[in-house]
Structure 1
C-alpha cells in the first residue's frame, strides 16, 4: 500500500471531524468570494448605473429633480404607468465631468465634449448631440438615490465577512483537532509496534534514529493534515469558486485563464521529482543528528573524563554541515516557486486581459463594464493566493510523504503481536538440548550446549568475558532464538510459547538496573494493576530494602528520577530485586546482580536470597565466585562450551579451571585485606 493511501487510511479515523471542518471551510470560502460580485454590483448598478437612460416620471420615490421635472432611472421606472412619449435624458461621464443629453446615445466609442456638443466616435461611425454640463450639486442629486442601496450592499458584505470568520475559526479548530487525534493514534501505533520488535532489531538501530521517527517524522506528518490538507482544500475550493465567478462574468476570458491548470500540474510533477530526493536526505541527516546527540548525552561522563569534547564536536559538525547542505538544496528548489512562479502566471493573465480589451477596438474582443473589469481583476488577484497556497505547501507535502515513508517503513518491520494467552505457573525445569547460537551469521557464541536445571535448583554460570553466560539468559528469555537445538521448560519447547506468556513467571535482575521516572513503588510494580501496594512493600522487605531505605520517610512514595540518578548503585539494585520478586517468578535470573553492590548491601541481599531461592529455579551469573559456593550446580563456560560442571566442592576437587579462578580471587582478596 502506498504512503499516500496509508496516510489517507489514518485520516479516515477522524473523517467526521475532518468532513465537518472542510464543510465549514467551504462555507467561509464561498462567503468570502461574494466580495467582488458585490463590488461589481455597486460599480455597475449604482456608480456607473446613473449613465443609463432616465425617464420622466410623476412618482417621487428614487426620482431626481432636474430642470423642473422628475426623472427616474429606466430600470426603476414603472413602464406601465410612464408612457413612451415621456422625456428621456442620459448622463455621460467624460473625465471628472458629467453631462446630460436629451436623447439616447450609443454605448461604445470614444467620447469628447466640444463647444456644447457631445461627440462619440468609433471605428464604424460617429454620433453627436447637444449636451449640458452638470454642476457638482446636480451630479450629487443623481447619485443621492444610490447611496442607500450602496450602504445596504456594504453592510451585507460586512455581515458576510463576520459570518465567514466564525466558519474560518471553526474549520481551523476542528481540522487541527482532527490532525492532533490522527497523529496521537499514529504515534501510539508506532510505539506499540516498537514494543513488539525483537531485541535483535535494536542492536543495529541507534535509539536516536528511532526517537526521530516517532517524534520528528510524525510531527512532519501532522503538518500534512493541518497545513497541507487545509491549504490544498482551501485552494481548490477557492479556485473552483473563482473559476465559477469568472465564467459568470465573461466566458471567453474565463476560458483563457484555464491555461493555469496544466502549467500548475506540470510544475507539481517537476517539483516532486526533485523534492522527494532532497527531503529523503534531510530526514536521514536529521535522524543521524538525533542519534549522535542521544549518544553524546548518554556518554557525557566518559566524553568529559577522556577529554573527547573536541572530537565529538567535530563529528557533530560534520553531520550538521551535511544537513545544512541538504537544506540548501531544498531552499534553492523552493526559491523557484512561491511568488516567482505565481507572479509570472498572474502577469501572463493580465497580458491576455489587456490584449482582449485592446481587441475590442478592432472587433476581436468585447467591451467590458467597469464593474466586470474590476471583479475580474480582483478575482485574478485572489486566484494568486490559492496558487501560492498550493505551490508553497508542496514542500510540506513532500516532507510529510517522506516522513510517512520512514514511519511506515518502521511499522512494516516484522514484529510479534503481544499475546494475552495465559499459562499455569511452571515447575521450573529448564533444559538446553544441543543449543548453538550466534548474533552474527556463522559466528557462534554458544556451541552444542546441553544442561538441565531441575525445579528449585540454583545454577551458577561462570567463565571469562565472552564465554556465553549472558547469551544463555538471552535465549532463556527469548530475547533471541537459537539457530540450532532446543530449549524447554517443563518439557515444553519455549518457541511454542508466546514470548510475553513465557516471561510472565520469569524474573531478571541485571548488572546495571534501569529505573524509570516515577516512584519506588511504580518501579517495583511497573504500574501493573494486579500487583498491590502491600505486595510491592513485602517484596522490598524480602530483599532487605526496609533496612537500606530506612532514611526515607515514605519509602514506596520516594521520587525516582530518570535512571534513578539520585539513588546509589546498591539502592537501585535492591529495587530491581524487588521488581523481579514481586511477580513471584518460577525462574529467577541474576545477571551479575551483585557486582556493583557494596559488601554490606551484598550481605543483606544474600541473606534474602537464601529464602527466595526456595521453590524457584535460579540462574546466577557471577564474577565473585564466593557468592555461588552454595549453588546446586556450577557450569564453567569457555568459548561457548561447558568445560566443567558440578558443585563447588566437586569442581574444587578436580582442580580444573574453576579451582584456579577461585584460588586467584581468594589470593586477590587476601592481598587486598593485607594492604588494607
Structure 2
C-alpha cells in the first residue's frame, strides 16, 4: 500500500476534476424550487397521501389519550367493565383505520417519489442534450453521469418518505405538545426544557453536515469519472501494461470515497445519540416531578401514564426529523449540482424569432470569421471564403490549422467570436437549429455506433426511412456485402460503440447513416481514414454520384482522397494560405504542393 501512494498522488493531479465544495447557507429558495416538482401531482396523488397521513396521525394521538384518560382514570378506577370493553373495541377499530391509512400513505408517497424522480431525470437529460459543445468540452462524461444518475437518485428518499414523514412528524409533535400542555402545563414545560439545547446543537452541526455531503457528491463524481475513463481506455491501459498503476489510482479514489462517506455518516450520526440522551433526561424529570405531583394530588395516575407514553412518542419523531434533516442536507448538496446543470445555458442559443430553411441550396459563406475556443487560443483569424451550392470543398492543413473548427461552425456547434457564417445568405444565428442540422450530415473519423441493430444504426438520422431505403444506402457506400455476411444481416445486434465491427465497417455504416438522411450539406471529417485503400476506391465512385447537387466539405490528411474536389482550401494556424482546385494549386507550387510532395515521398520511403 505504501508503494502505491506516490503513484496515487501523481495520478490525482492528472485525473481529478477541479470541483470543490462551497460553503453556502441553506438555500430555502432552492429547496422551494426542488419541491416544485411535486406540483403536477398536487391534485392527483398528494391529497390522498395527506389524508392517509392525517388519519394515521390522529389515531396515534387518540389511542394513548383514550387509554390514559378514559380507560385508566374512569373505567379501571370505577371498575366499569362495559366502558372498558367499548374502549377496547374503539381502539381496535382505530388501529384497523391506522393500518389502512399507513398502507395507502406508503403506496402513494412511493408512487409520488418515483414520478418526481422520473420527471427530474427526464428534464435534466433533455436539458443536457440541448447544451452546446462548449459544455461537454469542459466536463468529463463521468461527472455528467453522476449528476443524472447518483445525484438524482439521492433525492429519491426525500420525495418517497421525507416530505410526508416531515409533515406527519411535525403534526404529531404539535399534537403531543398541545395535549401535554392541556393536561399539565407545569409538567410539560419541565420535560420539554431540553428542546432549546437540541435546537442549538442541531443548528451548529448543520453547516458541517451539509459540507460533508457536498464532499461525498464531489468524490462520487471523481470516482465515476475515473471508472468511465478506465473502461473507455481499457485497450490503451492493457497495451501499456498499466493495470497495476490504474488499480492503484482506483484504490486511492475508492478509499477517498469511503472516507468522505464515513465522515459524512459520522457527522450525521451525532444527532441520534443526542436525541436518546434528551429522552433519558426527560424521563428522569418526568419520574421525579411526576411522582411528586401524584403524591400531592396535582395530577392523576392517568395523566402520568399519558405523559410517559407521549414522552416516548415525542422523541421518536424528533429523531426522525433529524433523519429527514439529513435527507434535506443530502438533497441540498445534490440539488445544487443538478440545478447547476439545469441553469447552464447553451452558448449557441436559438432566437425566439428564428426562421427555418425552406429549401436549402447549400451555399456557404464565411464573412471575416474569427473564432476562439478560449481567450488564449484563437482558432480562426478573420477568414472569408465561399463554398458554392453543390461544390465539393476540401480543407487541408496541419493539425490545429482550423479545419474541424470550420466544420463545427457550419453545423453551428459553436458561434463565431466575430463575423458571420451564412448558408444561402442567412446568418446561422437567425435560423432554427433543427432546421439547420436536419440539412447537414457529419461523418467523423471516430464514428459512433449505438447499441442496437445494424438497420437501426443506419436509420438513426432518418427514423422514418423504409427498410428498402436503408438497404439502398448501404449498397451505395459498399456496406451491403459485409452486412449480409453478419449472423443476422441487417438485424444483427451490435454492442456498445459497435465493438463487433472493424473500424472500416463502422465507418461504412456511418456513411450509410449520413447519406440516408439525404442532407443538403455533407461534412466528411477524416471520414476515410479508417477505410483501407481498396474500400476507399469503391466508395469514391459512389460519392461522386451521391454528392451531385450537395455541398460537401471534406477534411482529409490523405490528400489522394481530395484530388477531384472543386475547391481546395489550405489552412495554417487559422488562416487561409491558398485555395483553388488540385491542378491550380499544384501549378503554384506553394504549401499544397509541398504537402502533396511530402506525402508521396513518405509513400516512396515505405
2:274 is matched with 341
Query: Does 2:72 align with 1:43?
Result: yes
Identify if the C-alpha distance between structure 1 residues 312 and 417 changes in structure 2 by more than 3 Å, giving closer, same or farther.
Answer: farther
Query: Does 2:493 align with 1:562?
Result: no
2:525 is matched with 591
Identify if the C-alpha distance between structure 1 residues 417 and 656 changes in structure 2 by more than 3 Å, giving closer, same or farther.
Answer: closer
Which range moved further: 521-530 or 426-435?
A: 521-530
CA contact (8 A) 1:249 1:376 kept: no
Equivalent of residue 322 in structure 2, options 373, 391, 394: 391
Query: Does 2:409 align with 1:475?
Result: yes
The alpha-carbon deviation at position 518 of structure 1 amounts to 1.7
Give deviations 1:621-649, integer Å, cap 9, x for gaps: 11221111111111122222222222112
State the alpha-carbon separation in 2 of the partners of residues 337 and 285 from structure 1. Answer: 24
The alpha-carbon deviation at position 361 of structure 1 amounts to 7.8
Identify if the C-alpha distance between structure 1 residues 529 and 569 changes in structure 2 by more than 3 Å, giving closer, same or farther.
Answer: closer
Task: Pick the structure with more strand per residue.
Answer: 1
2:221 is matched with 287
State the alpha-carbon separation in 1 of the partners of residues 380 and 351 from structure 2. Answer: 28
1:40-79 correspondence runs (5 A): 40=68, 41-50=70-79
State the alpha-carbon separation in 2 of the partners of residues 664 and 495 from structure 1. Answer: 40
1:76 is matched with none
Query: Does 2:107 align with 1:176?
Result: no
The alpha-carbon deviation at position 484 of structure 1 amounts to 2.2
Identify if the C-alpha distance between structure 1 residues 361 and 439 changes in structure 2 by more than 3 Å, giving closer, same or farther.
Answer: closer
2:4 is matched with none
State the alpha-carbon separation in 2 of the partners of residues 327 and 587 from structure 1. Answer: 51
The alpha-carbon deviation at position 618 of structure 1 amounts to 0.6
Give deviations 1:406-462, integer Å, cap 9, x for gaps: 101111111246989632231111122222222121422222322211111111111
2:344 is matched with 413
State the alpha-carbon separation in 2 of the partners of residues 465 and 328 from structure 1. Answer: 48
1:400 is matched with 331
Equivalent of residue 369 in structure 1, options 300, 304, 307: 300
SS of equivalent residue, structure 2 residue 77: helix
Query: Does 2:87 align with 1:153?
Result: yes
Note the residue ranges of structure 2 that are not aligned, 5 or more in a row. 1-27
CA contact (8 A) 2:461 2:516 kept: no
Query: Does 2:151 align with 1:220?
Result: no
State the alpha-carbon separation in 1 of the partners of residues 280 and 298 from structure 2. Answer: 21
1:123 is matched with none
SS of equivalent residue, structure 1 residue 478: coil
Which range moved further: 28-37 or 566-575?
A: 28-37
1:22 is matched with 50
Identify if the C-alpha distance between structure 1 residues 239 and 418 changes in structure 2 by more than 3 Å, giving closer, same or farther.
Answer: farther
State the alpha-carbon separation in 1 of the partners of residues 494 and 254 from structure 2. Answer: 35
SS of equivalent residue, structure 1 residue 556: helix
Query: Does 2:543 align with 1:515?
Result: no
State the alpha-carbon separation in 1 of the partners of residues 550 and 268 from structure 2. Answer: 66
The alpha-carbon deviation at position 556 of structure 1 amounts to 3.2
Query: Does 2:379 align with 1:445?
Result: yes
CA contact (8 A) 2:504 2:531 kept: yes
1:273 is matched with 207
CA contact (8 A) 1:33 1:241 kept: yes
State the alpha-carbon separation in 2 of the partners of residues 422 and 251 from structure 1. Answer: 74
Identify if the C-alpha distance between structure 1 residues 312 and 368 changes in structure 2 by more than 3 Å, giving closer, same or farther.
Answer: same
The alpha-carbon deviation at position 597 of structure 1 amounts to 1.0
1:108-507 correspondence runs (5 A): 146=81, 149-259=83-193, 261-338=195-272, 340-360=273-293, 366-415=297-346, 416=349, 422-507=356-441
CA contact (8 A) 1:196 1:418 kept: no
SS of equivalent residue, structure 1 residue 467: coil
The alpha-carbon deviation at position 488 of structure 1 amounts to 1.4
State the alpha-carbon separation in 1 of the partners of residues 391 and 398 from structure 2. Answer: 23
SS of equivalent residue, structure 2 residue 174: helix
The alpha-carbon deviation at position 495 of structure 1 amounts to 2.1
Equivalent of residue 477 in structure 2, options 527, 534, 543: 543
1:61 is matched with none
TM-score calculated relative to the size of structure 2: 0.89
Identify if the C-alpha distance between structure 1 residues 358 and 170 changes in structure 2 by more than 3 Å, giving closer, same or farther.
Answer: closer
CA contact (8 A) 2:355 2:431 kept: no
CA contact (8 A) 2:151 2:338 kept: yes
Equivalent of residue 613 in structure 1, options 542, 547, 551: 547
TM-score calculated relative to the size of structure 1: 0.80
State the alpha-carbon separation in 1 of the partners of residues 460 and 592 from structure 2. Answer: 38
2:3 is matched with none
The alpha-carbon deviation at position 317 of structure 1 amounts to 3.1
Give deviations 1:530-555, integer Å, cap 9, x for gaps: 43433333322222222231214754
CA contact (8 A) 1:425 1:505 kept: no
Give deviations 1:85-132, integer Å, cap 9, x for gaps: xxxxxxxxxxxxxxxxxxxxxxxxxxxxxxxxxxxxxxxxxxxxxxxx
Which range moved further: 594-603 or 410-419?
A: 410-419
SS of equivalent residue, structure 2 residue 415: coil
Q: How many pairs does the alignment contain?
A: 574
Equivalent of residue 32 in structure 1, options 60, 65, 77: 60
- CA-based RMSD of the aligned residues comes to 2.3
State the alpha-carbon separation in 2 of the partners of residues 527 and 183 from structure 1. Answer: 30
SS of equivalent residue, structure 1 residue 2: helix
Give deviations 1:56-78, integer Å, cap 9, x for gaps: xxxxxxxxxxxxxxxxxxxxxxx
User: Rg: which structure is higher?
Assistant: 1
Note the residue ranges of structure 1 that are not aligned, 5 or more in a row. 51-144
The alpha-carbon deviation at position 386 of structure 1 amounts to 0.6
State the structure with bigger RCO (CA 8 A, min sep 6), 1 or 2: 2
CA contact (8 A) 1:223 1:400 kept: no
Equivalent of residue 11 in structure 1, options 38, 62, 71: 38
